[in-house]
């Protein structure tokens, strides 16, 4: 590894732990990851899991700043980093990081908080995506509009020049997984081997133009296979299009204006962009991979340069 490690960036999700050794100039000196996700760890197991990856980067003299985002900060994580209420400036995320006491003096660990919407009629929580949004706000400081972050739990946020106004979560990815592997529909979509653009487009149209009856749109997938012959490729893509189309149209129904930024991993994000096109909505795709690290770097800079001046003297 070249250069001196100045701080360590950590993306600690439910199923993966990813770490980066950063220089003082913000360059990545080294990186690695493991499957020690927050979902599989007890509170006491976080520090050893982290050290197993970053020990080679610790120089031993001064304590190393380690900045963590993600589920490590949930109630079931390493230490709870309480949610910040919306509306909130993304810079607040950095400045309300919570310090973790560790048994190793070489570490100076802090965890970024999540965001929440304390509206009883539309409650929501975000943890992890706020860091990607911080990266987006760094890259596009003047952007105002809606952002879609597809995934197991898709997040939609309304962004206004570095401020998050509102958020909503759709269990789209989880619904797709449950329906395609656990429900009766597994007999129809199981064994699909290639992607069907046609099936996907049909599903998106059904889900978006006819989403009154999402509950009625599922069983026909099974009945269609029984009556007209099975086509697992088409059925799987159709189901995917149905849940994604339902999500997009539910959201665009309330926020029809402007361009949506999609932050996502390549394949799923591509499907979303395709779906936006099918329903005639404007979208720009930004790769999620780089945004998390950009967000952590932005947060690190803020904690060093800005936060102390903002922080209450408690």
Q: What is the distance between the alpha carbons of residues 246 and 272, in angstroms, rounded to a whole number?
A: 12
The minimum distance between CB 171 and its own copies, in angstroms, equals: 5
CA 291: distance to chain centroid? Answer: 10
Residue among 28 and 226 whose Cβ is closer to its own copies: 226
The minimum distance between CB 285 and its own copies, in angstroms, equals: 21
| Residue 3 structure tokens | 């250069």
Residue among 30 and 174 whose Cβ is closer to its own copies: 174
Helices 266-278 and 232-254 pack at an angle, to 10 degrees, of 70
Q: Which residues bind its own copies (CB under 8 A)?
A: 75, 83, 116-118, 120, 122-125, 153, 168-172, 174-175, 178-179, 182-185, 211-216, 218-220, 222-224, 226-228, 243, 246-247, 250-251, 253
The minimum distance between CB 208 and its own copies, in angstroms, equals: 11
Residue among 98 and 171 whose Cβ is closer to its own copies: 171
The minimum distance between CB 308 and its own copies, in angstroms, equals: 29
Residue among 32 and 183 whose Cβ is closer to its own copies: 183
Q: Whose CA is closest to 34, among 46, 20, 16? A: 16
| Residue 251 structure tokens | 């959201």
The strand pairing partners of 66, in sequence order, are: 8, 109
For 281, residues 6+ apart whose C-beta sits below 8 A from its C-beta are 248, 252, 260
Residue among 108 and 183 whose Cβ is closer to its own copies: 183
Residue among 39 and 56 whose Cβ is closer to its own copies: 39
The minimum distance between CB 271 and its own copies, in angstroms, equals: 16
| Residue 85 structure tokens | 């209420």
The minimum distance between CB 238 and its own copies, in angstroms, equals: 13
Q: What is the distance between the alpha carbons of residues 4 and 174, in angstroms, rounded to a whole number?
A: 42
**Residue 175 main-chain phi, psi, to 5 deg:** -60, -45
The minimum distance between CB 80 and its own copies, in angstroms, equals: 11
Residue among 253 and 277 whose Cβ is closer to its own copies: 253
Q: Whose CA is closest to 197, among 157, 146, 233? A: 233
Q: Whose CA is closest to 234, among 202, 270, 279? A: 202
Per the CB < 8 A criterion, the answer to whether 5 and 21 are in contact is yes
């Amino acid at each position: 590894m070249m250069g001196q490690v100045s701080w360590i960036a950590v993306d600690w999700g439910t199923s993966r732990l990813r770490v980066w050794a950063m220089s003082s100039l913000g360059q990545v000196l080294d990186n690695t990851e493991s499957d020690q996700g927050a979902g599989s760890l007890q509170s006491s197991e976080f520090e050893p899991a982290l050290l197993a990856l970053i020990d080679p980067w610790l120089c031993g003299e001064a304590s190393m700043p380690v900045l963590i985002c993600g589920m490590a900060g949930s109630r079931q994580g390493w230490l709870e980093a309480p949610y910040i209420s919306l509306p909130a400036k993304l810079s607040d995320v950095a400045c309300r990081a919570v310090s973790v006491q560790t048994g190793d003096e070489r570490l100076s660990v802090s965890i970024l908080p999540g965001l929440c919407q304390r509206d009883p009629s539309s409650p929501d929580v975000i943890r992890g995506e706020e860091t990607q949004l911080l990266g987006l706000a760094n890259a596009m400081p003047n952007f105002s509009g809606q952002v879609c972050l597809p995934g197991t739990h898709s997040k939609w946020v309304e962004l206004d020049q570095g401020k998050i106004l509102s958020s909503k979560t759709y269990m789209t990815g989880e619904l797709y997984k449950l329906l395609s592997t656990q429900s009766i529909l597994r007999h129809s979509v199981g064994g699909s081997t290639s992607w069907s653009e046609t099936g996907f487009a049909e599903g998106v149209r059904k889900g978006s133009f006819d989403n009154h009856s999402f509950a009625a749109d599922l069983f026909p997938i099974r009945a269609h296979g029984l009556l007209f012959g099975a086509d697992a490729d088409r059925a799987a893509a159709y189901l995917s299009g149905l849940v994604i189309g339902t999500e997009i149209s539910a959201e665009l129904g309330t926020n029809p204006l402007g361009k949506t930024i999609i932050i996502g991993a390549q394949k799923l994000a591509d499907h979303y962009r395709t779906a936006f096109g099918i329903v005639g909505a404007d979208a720009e795709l930004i790769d999620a991979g780089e945004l998390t690290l950009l967000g952590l770097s932005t947060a690190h800079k803020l904690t060093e340069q800005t936060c102390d001046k903002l922080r209450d003297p408690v």
